[in-house]
Amino acid sequence: MIYKKHIRLIELANDVADEFNTLLWSRPVKYSDLVRDLRGVTTSIGLYLWRNIKTKEPLYVGRSIQHHRGGLRKRMRQYVKMFENGDVDGSKVGLCSERHESEILFMDLGEEHDALLLTIILEAAIIHELCPKYNIQLKR
């Protein structure tokens, strides 16, 4: 059942997706810097955007929806561990191969219950808009 509150969130997500290149994204972090120090990454719920440093081509959009378990910081730690150990599953092989020429942007959506739904809606909207190279599902 969709409530008025959810409709407002969907409208907000559509507005935000239209303006995704504004102040919502953090300053880019190079993958090599991320490997050295994860402390600058928020522990909140949110989205992350991997992109090529030179061309700014979007490579992958993802989300972290578990604030109580470390949020975006834990998700990035999982990527670093997976990539550096060579333990990469099929869907992440391409992203792994481009990681050294990539940067990551973060969108901190807070810790509230509504942030969870907003994160899921925004992820889908941004993937649909950007068509990142390695997001296989949710493209146009």
In a domain, 136, yes or no: no
- Asked if residue 135 is part of any domain, the answer here is no
- In a domain, residue 52? The reply is yes
Considering its fold, how many domains does the chain have in total?
A: 1
Task: Look at residue 116 and tell me if it is in a domain.
Answer: yes
Tally: H helices and E strands in the chain: 5, 4
Q: How far apart are the C-alpha atoms of 63 and 56, rounded to whole Å?
A: 19
Q: Is residue 11 in some structural domain?
A: yes
Q: For residue 106, what pLDDT is reported?
A: 93
End-to-end CA distance of the chain: 26
How confident is residue 1, by pLDDT bands cut at 50, 70 and 90? very low
Range(s) of the domain holding residue 88: 4-130
Do 122 and 9 contact (CB within 8 A), yes or no? no
| Cα 124-85-123 angle, rounded to 5 deg | 5
Amino acid at residue number 94:
G
Span 81-104, pLDDT tens digits: 988 888 887 778 888 888 889 999
Does residue 137 sit within a domain? no
pLDDT digits (tens, 9 = 90+) for 99-131: 889 999 999 888 776 778 888 888 888 888 888
Tell me if 39 is assigned to some domain.
yes
Please state, in angstroms and rounded to a whole number, the distance separating the CA atoms of residues 83 and 86.
5
Helix (H, G, I), strand (E, B) or coil at 9: helix
* Per-residue pLDDT at 136: 78
pLDDT tens-digit series, residues 13-64 = 666 655 555 557 888 999 999 989 998 898 888 999 999 999 999 999 999 9
Token pair for residue 23?
Answer: 């102040």
Q: Which residue has the higher pLDDT, 60 or 8?
A: 60
In a domain, 91, yes or no: yes
